Structure 1
Amino acid sequence: MAHLLGAEALHLDYPTKTVFESVTVGINEGDRIGIVGRNGDGKSSLLGMLAGTVEYQSGRVTKRGGVRFGVLTQRDDLDADATVRASIVGDMAEHEWAGDSRIRDIIAGLVADLDWEARIGELSGGQRRRVALAALLIGDWDLLALDEPTNHLDVEGIAWLAEHVKNRWPKNAGGLLVITHDRWFLDEVCTDTWEVHDGIVEPFEGGYAAYVLQRVERDRINAATEQKRQNLMRKELAWLRRGAPARTSKPKFRIDAANQLIEDVPPVRDKISLQALAVSRLGKDVVDLEDVSVSFGDRTILNNVTWRIAPGERTGILGANGAGKSTLLGVIAGTVQQTSGRVKRGKTVQLGILDQQFSQLDDIQNDRVREVLARTKTSFNVDGKELTPAQLLERLGFAREHLSSHVASLSGGQKRRLQLLMVLLSEPNVLILDEPTNDVDADMLAAMEDVLDSWPGTLLVVSHDRYLLERVTDQQYAILGGRLRHVPGGVDEYLRLRDAQESGGTAAPSGNPSTASAPSATKASGPTGAELRAAQKEIQAIERKLEKLGDQIQSHHVSMAEHDQSDFEGLGKLTAELGALNRQQEELEERWLELSELAG
């Protein structure tokens, strides 16, 4: 594949730390690379060095001649006095952009709800962000670098962006670098993952799920990795392989390899025990909503919503921006008054709310973190162990050196950790999380999920992070047209219902949530019996080959780990052989998937 951009021996120093010692990376045609790592470890700095916006001390970045490189940073450079139209299409004539289906699709996918003639200065931060993304995407780029593009996008917007990126270039053409904490997006879009940590960039094949599997394997081979981090990733892997329906279509040999790693790892949640604990803490009554409606002026937000929330229920709430998710949470919490209907709360209900405004920290901004912890005597149970507040905060990824910091001086991610700690230690039995993934990285999300796995109570989550919703909740509801309905098929069913709603289709009534109207289609004739038998035979042959290849690849990894690291020639030979084996494996996997689809 043709080379697009490369970096060799990049060294980056900031006044207080060395970010990268000597980083060498390359991007080729067809690469779709996700960049992950803890906040502050250098993800945006790496992207900035490659894009030419961050100055490094030594090394070099080379770009193939003529490569057009488009970059979305976390700050937009939009003119506050310009209109939305001018910011996106510039001085392009209306017939020119309106006649281009690709530009029309980008506008519809990202900014359809915005006034075309509104001034940029009048928009919210999230709206400006979407305008900046749309303005970038209409350009003709060979290489795109996107820094947190899913921020301020709802579930539909994220799904649209994933589909756009997947179809933007032909196969094996164009290149993508993306920093995001949205793990579903990484899985959906990326062919490779770069983990930024400890001053290096470590490459992994595949999206987030594949990255987790390889990281566990590498941790097992190189026993130097911290035991606590390894255990957490093994638990994450256990959920990926057991609990995510969308991932069970992976080839059988991959599932077998994962199952060998997790055969002694219990399910992430003991649902029966948690349910029993929730009932003992809450009784039978939690919160009942009966025919609840909420209106603001002439606009109806919620329309005759009836929902009996059960003890131990773990529910994700889906809906477009402005659909009424936060309003629904406010009705449940008692902070929003319903226009009509009835809300009944159980006598034992103790609500804990993790909101988007860090409200739990308002009164302790001038305190040091250790002073806040010293005033809290409550312990917390995680996986059968009693943890002090300091231990729980450390479990959530909070560094000990920050315990002496003032709350006001903490970063967004550190404040989110402390906020969650304060909510949990208030001992609620009904926990409401409103966009809990803001300001946190993938490792923090995994730590948060790990703690929530042991939390015995009713959990209600509003989030655009579908990975988190699938991971910590057992069911999903959606707000559609002001009504609340159960979506047994989760996010995929919700997106299908929204698509039907947008295109004028009629969703099934709420009494039958598992079905929705769809245009009739003529069933295509399937493969013959002989073709099916041939496909099955070839599948079995491929699986045998892949099993042997897996052993060879594993052997090469072990050889590289044990090889003399100063023998660059020997290591280079092993690396080349491993690359050839990986390419052969990829080709066989693609053929396996083709045949599996044929065989049904």
Structure 2
Amino acid sequence: MAAPPANLVALDRARLVAGTQVLLDDVSVGVSDGDRIGVVGRNGGGKSSLLGALVGTRPLDEGRVVRAGGVSAGMLGQVDALDPVATVREVVLGDLAEHVWAGDPRVREVLDGLLGGTDAQALGGWDAVVGPMSGGERRRLALAALLVADPDLLVLDEPTNHLDVEGVAWLAAYLSSRRPRSGSGLLVVTHDRWFLDAVSTRTWEVADGQVHVYEGGYAAYVLARVERQRVAKVTEERRANLARKELAWLRRGPPARTSKPRFRIEAATALIEGEPPPRDSVELVRFATTRLGKDVFDLVDATVTVGDRTLLEDVTWRIGPGDRYGVVGVNGAGKSTLLRVLQGQHPLAAGRLRTGKTVQVACLSQELRELDRVAGWSVIDSITEVRSFTMIGGKEVSASSLAQRLGFTGGRQQSRVGDLSGGERRRLQFVRLLMDEPNVLMLDEPTNDLDIDTLTSMEDVLDGWAGTLLVVSHDRYLLERMTDRQVALLGDGTLRDLPGGVEQYLELRARIREAGRVTSARSTSAPSSAGSGGASTPRAAYTPAQVREARKTLARVERALDRLHEEEVLLHDQMAAAATDPTRLAELTEAQRTLAEQEEALELEWLEASEAAEG
């Protein structure tokens, strides 16, 4: 019998305390050669502290860390410590000679996947300085440096932050199939459930001071957790039911999923026997129709422009009662503008938008400024101000009950809104939107600052919500779980239906890159203006110098967009602090409007450069 793989690093009877909270209580776990471990658990439960203890940046209060001799460790934390005066070359390559890194296929793959190629064009070139970079750029830079260094124990804390759908897919493929080597291990904390299932061979759940170990990725973890609860006859009936519902969804799988969940089908089938689908789509559409009528949004022959650039051209999109759409797309393609168009906040250059007479839209944006006014109120008061009861799943739900389902348990409902964390403010924003009883809900990157349990609870609530749902997100698991259909903005003026889901989007993007041009669905499926036999307009030719310049422009604009998003976050904090000062609040609101205009202008510049950049 072969000997079990040796531990690279292990905790022995570890205890960690933060204030009055016990994060780890007599915990003994280890990372073995070949392990790829996903770490899950509630925000504030000790996941990051566990990682720090394993790599030695967080000392234990009791117990010890045992590390095999000669094992190197590297960690991507949630806050980078990059030297602001260093260049991209110095951070990523250090003293590596060019012939060394340029001749290493693994290093070239990392540079291509994260930095836009061996010239690091996505970050402005090798000589670009770290200091002016946005948080997203610094995050990619730190991740690239760590992957190039290739430590034996690779520890990643929320590595998918700031990565788009393609970036997440690349990182998952790299970590699961290209990086693994003898004497290496991976430990990763993330709320991205698709990423966990694609990468992890084991799962650790950090809860109540303990680390529960499961074999397999996220889907296997859900199965094992349900089984553990069944065997132990736990009384947390709601939590168990949530897990059973998610397991049932994982077992069935949306049509776009290309691989089976990594758990035994027989065991899953036995546990979910008789479990209904997450949503009764027919009943929800029927109820949504009574609330909305037959018409929600009809976007007909619509052309959307920003400046003199066309974002959408001659697009028709009919959205009906109870429809659930996920929206994906390349950066700068106009996803946020599309949502503004549907809300009547951005005018059409041509075509028409017809909105149903009974439509009531609520939008969960990435901004939290609507909470500024209630910063001094308690959580429950800020909710009951909107409404005390609402209808979800055909049942009347109280404000307190809905808040509890979204994580505001016990005394936390009496907490002051201004004292909430980013994730809690996000949850409160969502509860207030639902209490207002909209019949159309738009969610813009709803996973920000939320842990997996909260995301699962949000999905459970929306399973019983009767209305039309539009979700913009880079989280493919969330898109496939929350929505029934997906559409894509590819940056070519079209809105592409995706019967194959996010996987089809990734395939389309791959073909675009391989062909060296933007795919135009209209050029292959629609007749030209000259008639059905006419040829489409030939693509403009660009010189190599024009292509290089366009790619530099794309990298610069994407950096500027990241910086704008960070300025928006800072501005929202300032608005929260000025909640009682109307004059200052008006100034900050005007500043926010200016940022939105700058964002639209940058999207325009991005689109102008995108065609030339593809060559």
Distance 1:194 1:432 in 2: 33
Counterpart secondary structure, 1:120:
coil
Q: Which of 496, 506, 511 matches 1:485?
A: 496
Structure 2 CA distance for partners of 1:173 and 1:488, relative to 1, 3 Å: farther
Q: Which of 221, 226, 231 matches 2:231?
A: 221
Counterpart secondary structure, 1:145:
strand
Partner of 2:413: 403
Per mean C-alpha deviation after superposition, the further-off stretch among 367-376 and 196-205 is 367-376
Distance 1:394 1:316 in 2: 27
Q: CA deviation at 1:253?
A: 8.9
TM-score, length-normalised on structure 2? 0.80
Partner of 1:424: 434
Partner of 1:472: 482
Partner of 1:364: 374
Counterpart secondary structure, 1:498:
helix
Q: Does 1:394 align with 2:398?
A: no
Amino acid at match of 1:106: V
Partner of 1:138: 148
Q: Which of 325, 346, 366 matches 2:335?
A: 325
Q: CA deviation at 1:207?
A: 0.4
Q: Does 1:52 align with 2:52?
A: no
Q: CA deviation at 1:511?
A: 9.6
Q: Deviations over 1:222-252 (max 9, x none)?
A: 0135111111111111111123447685499
Amino acid at match of 1:485: R
Partner of 1:163: 173
Structure 2 CA distance for partners of 1:63 and 1:423, relative to 1, 3 Å: same
Partner of 1:256: 266
Partner of 1:309: 319
Whether the 8 Å CA contact 2:386–2:436 is kept in 1: the answer is: no
Distance 2:45 2:300 in 1: 49
Structure 2 CA distance for partners of 1:509 and 1:85, relative to 1, 3 Å: same
Whether the 8 Å CA contact 1:237–1:262 is kept in 2: the answer is: yes
Per mean C-alpha deviation after superposition, the further-off stretch among 36-45 and 302-311 is 302-311
Distance 2:391 2:266 in 1: 33
Q: CA deviation at 1:201?
A: 0.2
Amino acid at match of 2:29: V
Structure 2 CA distance for partners of 1:495 and 1:217, relative to 1, 3 Å: same
Partner of 1:563: none
Counterpart secondary structure, 1:418:
helix
Q: Deviations over 1:437-466 (max 9, x none)?
A: 111111101100000001111100011111
Amino acid at match of 1:79: D
Whether the 8 Å CA contact 2:328–2:486 is kept in 1: the answer is: yes
Per mean C-alpha deviation after superposition, the further-off stretch among 126-135 and 489-498 is 126-135
Per mean C-alpha deviation after superposition, the further-off stretch among 175-184 and 336-345 is 336-345
Q: Runs of 5+ in structure 1 lacking a partner?
A: 514-600
Q: Deviations over 1:373-414 (max 9, x none)?
A: 342334223333311111101011222221221111101221
Distance 2:199 2:260 in 1: 15
Counterpart secondary structure, 2:414:
coil
Q: CA deviation at 1:512?
A: 8.2
Whether the 8 Å CA contact 2:43–2:451 is kept in 1: the answer is: yes
Counterpart secondary structure, 1:380:
strand
Partner of 2:111: 107
Count of aligned pairs: 513
Q: Which of 521, 525, 530 matches 1:509?
A: 521
Q: CA deviation at 1:13?
A: 1.3
Partner of 1:77: 81
Q: CA deviation at 1:43?
A: 0.3
Structure 2 CA distance for partners of 1:136 and 1:504, relative to 1, 3 Å: same
Q: CA deviation at 1:76?
A: 0.4
Whether the 8 Å CA contact 2:219–2:261 is kept in 1: the answer is: no
Q: Which of 351, 357, 360 matches 1:341?
A: 351
Structure 2 CA distance for partners of 1:350 and 1:56, relative to 1, 3 Å: same
Whether the 8 Å CA contact 1:241–1:248 is kept in 2: the answer is: no
Distance 1:339 1:87 in 2: 46
Counterpart secondary structure, 2:521:
coil
Whether the 8 Å CA contact 1:360–1:423 is kept in 2: the answer is: no
Q: Deviations over 1:542-594 (max 9, x none)?
A: xxxxxxxxxxxxxxxxxxxxxxxxxxxxxxxxxxxxxxxxxxxxxxxxxxxxx
Distance 1:72 1:370 in 2: 37
Whether the 8 Å CA contact 1:302–1:483 is kept in 2: the answer is: yes
Amino acid at match of 2:329: G
Whether the 8 Å CA contact 2:393–2:466 is kept in 1: the answer is: no
Counterpart secondary structure, 2:204:
strand
Q: Which of 5, 8, 12 matches 1:8?
A: 12
Partner of 2:72: 68
Partner of 1:587: none
Q: CA deviation at 1:304?
A: 3.3
Distance 1:147 1:401 in 2: 30
Q: What do you get for the CA RMSD once the two structures are aligned?
A: 2.1
Per mean C-alpha deviation after superposition, the further-off stretch among 299-308 and 342-351 is 299-308
Partner of 1:571: none
Task: Give the structure, 1 or 2, with the largest relative contact order (CA under 8 Å, sep 6 or more).
Answer: 2
Partner of 2:215: 205
Q: Deviations over 1:324-364 (max 9, x none)?
A: 21121121122333444332222211111001112331321
Counterpart secondary structure, 1:432:
strand
Amino acid at match of 1:76: D
Q: CA deviation at 1:91?
A: 4.2
Structure 2 CA distance for partners of 1:171 and 1:134, relative to 1, 3 Å: closer
Q: Which of 227, 233, 236 matches 2:246?
A: 236
Structure 2 CA distance for partners of 1:428 and 1:234, relative to 1, 3 Å: same
Distance 1:201 1:512 in 2: 54
Distance 1:341 1:321 in 2: 25
Partner of 1:193: 203
Q: Does 1:500 align with 2:511?
A: yes
Per mean C-alpha deviation after superposition, the further-off stretch among 475-484 and 341-350 is 341-350
Counterpart secondary structure, 1:138:
helix
Q: CA deviation at 1:118?
A: 3.2
Q: Which of 112, 121, 128 matches 2:131?
A: 121
Distance 2:103 2:244 in 1: 50
Q: Deviations over 1:81-128 (max 9, x none)?
A: 223333222343444433332222212211223212433222221121
Distance 1:107 1:324 in 2: 27
Whether the 8 Å CA contact 2:40–2:204 is kept in 1: the answer is: yes
Structure 2 CA distance for partners of 1:200 and 1:511, relative to 1, 3 Å: farther
Q: Percent identity?
A: 56
Partner of 1:20: 24
Counterpart secondary structure, 1:427:
coil
Q: Deviations over 1:195-236 (max 9, x none)?
A: 000000000010000000011011000013511111111111
Amino acid at match of 1:322: G
Distance 1:121 1:260 in 2: 55
Q: Deviations over 1:455-503 (max 9, x none)?
A: 1111000111111111110011011123211010111111000000011
